[in-house]
Structure 1
Amino acid sequence: MTEALYGGVNAALITAMHADLSPDHRRTAAYAKWLLAHGCDGLGVLGTTGEANSFGLRERREILEKLVENGLPVTRLMPGTGCTSLTDTVELSRHARDLGCPGVLVLPPFYYKNPGEEGLYAYFSEVIERIGGGLALYLYHFPAQSAVPLTVELIGRLLEAFPGVVRGIKDSTGDAAQAEAYLSAFASRGFEVYPGGDSLFQRMLGLGAAGCITAATNLTSRFAQVVYSRRTGPEADAAQAMMNACRAAAGTVPLIPGLREILARSTGDEAWRHIRPPHTRLSPAEADGVWAAWQATGALPLPGLAEHGLLVASV
Structure 2
Amino acid sequence: MTKAIRGIYAAAVSPFKEDGALDTAKLVAYCQYLTTDGGCDGVAPTGTTGEGNSISFRQKMELAGAFADAGFEPQRAIFGTGACATQDAIDLSKAALDAGFPNVLVLPPFYYKNPSDEGLHRYFAQLIETIGDDRLRVYLYHFPQMSATPIPVDVAVRLKKDFGPVVAGLKDSSGDMSQALAFAKATGGVDADFDIYPSSEAFLFEGLEGGCAGIISGSTNAFANYVQKGKAECADSAAFAQVKAARGTASKYPLMAAMKQLEAWRTGDDTWTRMAPPLVPLSDEQKTNLKADMEALKASEPA
TM-score clears 0.5: yes
Q: TM-score, normalised by structure 2?
A: 0.92
Instruction: Give the Cα separation in 2 of the matches to 1:157 and 1:233.
Output: 33
Q: CA RMSD in A?
A: 1.9
Question: Structure 2: any 5+ residue segments left out of the alignment?
Answer: none
Determine the structure 1 residue equivalent to 2:158.
157
Say yes or no: does 1:43 pair with 2:43: yes
Matched, 1:74 2:74: yes
> Contact (CA 8 Å) 2:205, 2:235: kept in 1 or not?
no
Q: In the alignment, is the contact (CA less than 8 A) between 1:44 and 1:79 conserved in 2? A: yes
1:266: Cα distance to partner?
2.2
Distance across 1 between alignment mates of 2:299 and 2:136: 37
Q: 1:232 and 1:24 mapped to 2: Cα distance?
A: 38
* Cross-structure match for 1:313: none
For residue 137 of structure 1, what is the aligned residue in structure 2? 138
Distance 2:121 2:226 in 1: 38
Deviation, 1:87, is: 0.3
CA deviation map 1:261-292 (0-9, x unaligned): 11112221111111110101111111111222
Number of equivalenced pairs: 296
Give 1:111 shift. 0.5
Aligned counterpart, 2:55: 55
Q: Specify whether residues 4 and 195 from structure 1 end up closer, same or farther in structure 2 by C-alpha distance, changes over 3 A only.
A: farther
Residue matched to 2:176: 175
Following the alignment from structure 2 to structure 1, what is the Cα–Cα distance between the partners of residues 258 and 127? 34
Identity among equivalent positions (%) equals 38
| Secondary structure in structure 2 of the residue aligned to 1:158 | helix
Kindly indicate whether residue 107 of structure 2 is the aligned counterpart of residue 104 of structure 1. no
Mapped contact 1:74–1:99 kept (Cα < 8 A): no
Q: Give the unaligned 5+ runs of structure 1.
A: 302-315
Tell me the equivalent position of 1:289. 289
Matched residue of 1:279: which SS? coil
* Secondary structure, counterpart of 1:169 in structure 2: strand
Instruction: For residue 241 of structure 1, report the CA deviation from its aligned partner.
Output: 1.7
Residue in structure 2 matched with residue 226 of structure 1 by the alignment: 229
Structure 1 window deviating more from structure 2 (61-70 vs 112-121): it is 61-70
Contact kept, 8 Å, 2:103 with 2:136, in 1: the verdict is yes
AA of the residue aligned to 1:70? A
Secondary structure of the structure 1 residue equivalent to 2:78: strand
SS in structure 1 at match of 2:44: strand
SS at match of 1:163: helix
1:216 aligns with 2:219: yes
Alpha-carbon deviation of 1:233? Answer: 6.4
Q: Is the 8 Å Cα contact of residues 138 and 170 (structure 1) preserved in structure 2?
A: yes
Q: Could you tell me which amino acid in structure 1 is paired with residue 4 of structure 2?
A: L
**CA positional deviation for 1:32:** 1.2
Q: Contact between 1:202 and 1:227, CA under 8 Å: does it hold in 2?
A: no
Give the Å deviation of 1:123: 1.1
Q: Give distance in 1, aligned partners of 2:238 and 2:136.
A: 37
Aligned pair partner of 1:203 in 197, 202, 206: 206
Instruction: Give the residue type in structure 2 aligned to 1:265.
Output: W
Q: Structure 2: how far apart are the matches of 1:41 and 1:127? A: 27
TM-score using structure 1 length: 0.89
Aligned to 2:13: 14
Q: Which moved more, 1:218-227 or 1:102-111?
A: 218-227
- Say yes or no: does 1:298 pair with 2:301: no
Distance apart, 1:293 and its partner CA: 1.6
- The DSSP-based 3-state class of the residue aligned with 2:287 is helix
Deviations 1:82-120 (A, max 9, x none): 000000000000111111113100000000111111110
